[in-house]
Amino acid sequence: MTNHVLRIDASARHDGSVSRDLTDKVLAKLSPAEVTTRDLSTPLPLIDSTWIGANFTPSDNRSDDQKSTLALSDTLIAEVMAADTLVIGLPIYNFGVPSGFKAWIDLVARAGVTFRYTENGPEGLLTGKRAILAVASGGTEVGSDYDFATSYARHVLGFIGITDVSVVAADRLMVDPEASKKAANDQIAALAA
């Protein structure tokens, strides 16, 4: 049973957004007790040299300004940590993820917090969670050689420890929208609650 979902909407669109519609349907299927929503259409700040300096300063040595610089990142990470399941509305823009989703990843993937380096390579620290990607695309076929969005999302989620990743896809909407939406709805119906 899914108790707490973190809903992430990466679409720049609100009205007519297929990924937002799919995310609504996934949430209805899961019927969680609690939902936290993070809408990435409101731009997140990009990491810069000040953020990197704060991030790589040991936490005990951070100034108040450095703590303030990392506050949003800390909030975003806390949202992921609190969730059992992430439901990510992910449109494919120009074969990749929207810039807002990339900015979110940059703020969430932090060495020593959400992953660590070991003698055997990197190890994700956010284990025991599930993610469902609600993907929409106009022409990019999910899983094709030119779909860099879902492969990237799966990889980076696995990097921080979330390896149980399902994809619900309404792809190639500009080619056959009805068949695409039907396939996505069938995939949602088949999801385990």
Query: b/e for 144-179, b at 16 or more Cβ within 10 A?
Result: eeebebbebbbebbbbbbbbebbbbbbbbbeeeeee
Q: For residue 41, with 0-12 CB atoms within 10 Å meaning exposed, 13-18 middle and 19 or more buried, which class applies? A: middle
Nearest-angstrom CA–CA distance, 52 and 125: 20
Local structure of 66: helix, strand or coil:
helix
Helical spans, DSSP H, in 132-176: 148-159
Residue found by looking up tokens 């149980």 in the block:
164
Long-range contacts of 60-65 (CB under 8 A, 24+ apart): none
* Cβ atoms of 108 and 100 closer than 8 Å: no
Residues in binding site: 11, 17-19
Binding residues for FMN: 11, 17-19
